[in-house]
A and B are shown apart, each in its own frame.
Chain A
Amino acid sequence: MTITLDSLTKRYDELVAVDALTLRVEPGETYALLGPNGAGKTTTVEIMEGIRTPDVGTVTVLGLHPTKDRSELQQRVGVMLQEGGIYPGARTAEVVRLFRSFYRGARPVAELLELVGLSGRADALYRNLSGGEKQRLSLALALVGNPEVVFLDEPTAGMDPAARRATWLILENLKATGVTMLLTTHFMDEAERLADRVGILHHGRLAAEGSPDELIGSTGLVRLRTTRPVDIIRIESIFGTPVETDGDAYLIQAADPLPGQFAALTEWLAGENNLIQELRVGSGGLEEVFLGLTKDSADG
């Protein structure tokens, strides 16, 4: 195991930020922590990075202790903070040059700037970079020391769509070289695209965990709306699963609905002269899973 968290708990006064969290990340795996604001994502990552210490529980990264083995661990780990962290008055290339001096076998400045698409901004002051450029410089700094593990706290926040896709490509290439990645994100598409496994964090606990496919499959839904109310028992008999209502819509809990079942449904409704206003199959993706699991959260 590259990362292990066991019964991790962290409180800020009365607020329990992380609540008995246990988690495993395997070598070479990309693990995404997904959750609404205040779910405990950043606290969890910062405990793994050694910035914060847990009240209860144990953490290992590459078999090492984040604070006791700090000097050895930091050589092998790359970190991208959620924001800031760079001298506003320093130039892009100067910052990379400084960070290179901290690591054994660091990557050359020009190569790193090329990688994140900042070659043309080498002499720009950090404070004059756009939000996306700042994020990309921060990513370059996470990769300076050829890390075995990378922690990325909302790596594409503030990026335009083109920069986001470019960053995904960088991370996918990194993943292909066997680097273990742990990222937090608000973006479902990011988690779906990059992560081997996703943990949905809610009130400091894992509300769900699995591959994106598993999570999406676990809430396979058929959503039906019609002009007039229908007989629920009839729908249940067609699909062989329970049916719930959501306002004027019917939610059919069918993970793998068959074409014949839809044929039977539409034929029956046609016979009733009841018009279909909406019929959606499957999940809208992780977003639906996420919203379903975290809907009690006001700030979600």
Chain B
Amino acid sequence: MGDRWPTALWEQTRMELLLTLRRGEAVLLTLVIPVGLLLFFGSTGLFDITVEFLVPGLLTLSIISSAFVSMAIATGYERKFLVLKRLGVTPLPRWILIAAKSVSVAVIEVVQFVLVAGIAVLALDWEPAFHVGWGAAGLALGTSAFIGSAMLLAGTMRAEATLALSNGLYVVFLGLGDVIVPIAALPAALQTVARILPGAPLAAVMRGAASGAEVGSASVWSLVLWAIAAPLLATRVFTWQER
């Protein structure tokens, strides 16, 4: 590849973004649903959910939808349709493909953050107390943990199974991710499950980022562990072609 890699990275990232924007269900999942939930709960005040609780929860859901669900489905079908196999017989190095996928997710996350935070400020009188350090840490660790988990599914299962399971887990995170339902409101057993999964720890970090809330060290360590273990495990078990 030599000195051509910036061009390849740019073109591959451009393709990833183009394809994501063309998939209706990806746009629904990553942009329409988080904004819709924000407007619905933010304007009705149902279940006494405050905008201060809602915004970091929906930033968490945004990361889960783009880095996990959308990425798992897209990669699963690229594997099924032998796109990954074909790219493997070009000079494109694997690290550029992974970097392009990560950059495309980051771009969508920035759009999600601007939309969710912007609408919250302009339409719902949200007064943010940004903590840039926690925000950057949450974005980086959360994206790594969830892209890694996406690759774990997409690289080991049939595309249809990845589609079903990732959508199912999206609903699980909606309930157990401290997104709309506060984790303290869950039964004790479910609280334990929620704290083991990466959703609630990410939400805790995003609460620190959006409102300056204190972030428990258990949440940070749990998220760090997921951010390291999921991609590492994915690189070990990922196969480029369905059997």
Residues of A within 8 A of B (CB): 49-51, 71, 74-75, 77, 79, 81, 83-90, 94, 97-104, 141, 145
- Chain B residues with Cβ below 8 Å from A141 are 86
A104-B23 contact given A74-B90, A98-B15, CB 8 Å threshold? no
- Chain A residues with Cβ below 8 Å from B22 are 89
User: In the assembly, what is the distance between CA of A103 and CA of B82, in Å?
Assistant: 20
Chain A interface helix/strand/loop/mixed: loop
- Chain A residues with Cβ below 8 Å from B19 are 87, 89-90
User: In the assembly, what is the distance between CA of A42 and CA of B86, in Å?
Assistant: 14
User: In the assembly, what is the distance between CA of A100 and CA of B11, in Å?
Assistant: 9
Of A87, A89, A97, A102, which contacts B90 at CB under 8 A?
A102
User: In the assembly, what is the distance between CA of A103 and CA of B92, in Å?
Assistant: 9
User: In the assembly, what is the distance between CA of A103 and CA of B3, in Å?
Assistant: 11
A51-B85 contact given A103-B91, A104-B4, CB 8 Å threshold? yes
- Chain B residues with Cβ below 8 Å from A50 are 88-89
Q: Could you write out 7 A-B pairs with CB less than 8 Å apart?
A: A51-B88, A74-B89, A74-B90, A81-B89, A84-B83, A101-B7, A101-B12
Do residues B10 and A101 form an inter-chain contact, with CB atoms below 8 A? yes
Residues of B within 8 A of A (CB): 1-2, 4, 7-8, 10-12, 14-15, 18-19, 22-23, 77-78, 81-83, 85-86, 88-93
Do residues B4 and A85 form an inter-chain contact, with CB atoms below 8 A? no
Tell me, rounded to whole Å, the shortest Cβ–Cβ distance linking A65 to chain B.
Answer: 15
17 other A-B residue contacts (CB within 8 Å) besides A74-B89, A84-B85 = A50-B88, A51-B89, A74-B91, A85-B83, A85-B85, A86-B86, A87-B15, A87-B19, A87-B83, A88-B77, A89-B19, A90-B19, A97-B11, A98-B15, A101-B4, A101-B11, A102-B92
Of B23, B77, B85, B92, which contacts A81 at CB under 8 A?
B85
- Chain A residues with Cβ below 8 Å from B82 are 81, 83-85
User: In the assembly, what is the distance between CA of A49 and CA of B88, in Å?
Assistant: 9
A85-B11 contact given A71-B93, A74-B91, A102-B1, CB 8 Å threshold? no
User: In the assembly, what is the distance between CA of A90 and CA of B15, in Å?
Assistant: 8
Do residues B18 and A90 form an inter-chain contact, with CB atoms below 8 A? yes
Tell me, rounded to whole Å, the shortest Cβ–Cβ distance linking A267 to chain B.
Answer: 62
User: In the assembly, what is the distance between CA of A9 and CA of B44, in Å?
Assistant: 68
Tell me, rounded to whole Å, the shortest Cβ–Cβ distance linking B89 to chain A.
Answer: 4
- Chain B residues with Cβ below 8 Å from A99 are 90
Query: In the complex, what residue of chain A is closest to B86 when comparing beta carbons?
Result: A85
User: In the assembly, what is the distance between CA of A94 and CA of B82, in Å?
Assistant: 18
User: In the assembly, what is the distance between CA of A79 and CA of B89, in Å?
Assistant: 7
- Chain B residues with Cβ below 8 Å from A84 are 81-83, 85-86
A98-B12 contact given A74-B89, A84-B83, A89-B23, CB 8 Å threshold? yes
Tell me, rounded to whole Å, the shortest Cβ–Cβ distance linking A104 to chain B.
Answer: 7
- Chain A residues with Cβ below 8 Å from B83 are 84-87
Tell me, rounded to whole Å, the shortest Cβ–Cβ distance linking B233 to chain A.
Answer: 23
User: In the assembly, what is the distance between CA of A89 and CA of B83, in Å?
Assistant: 12
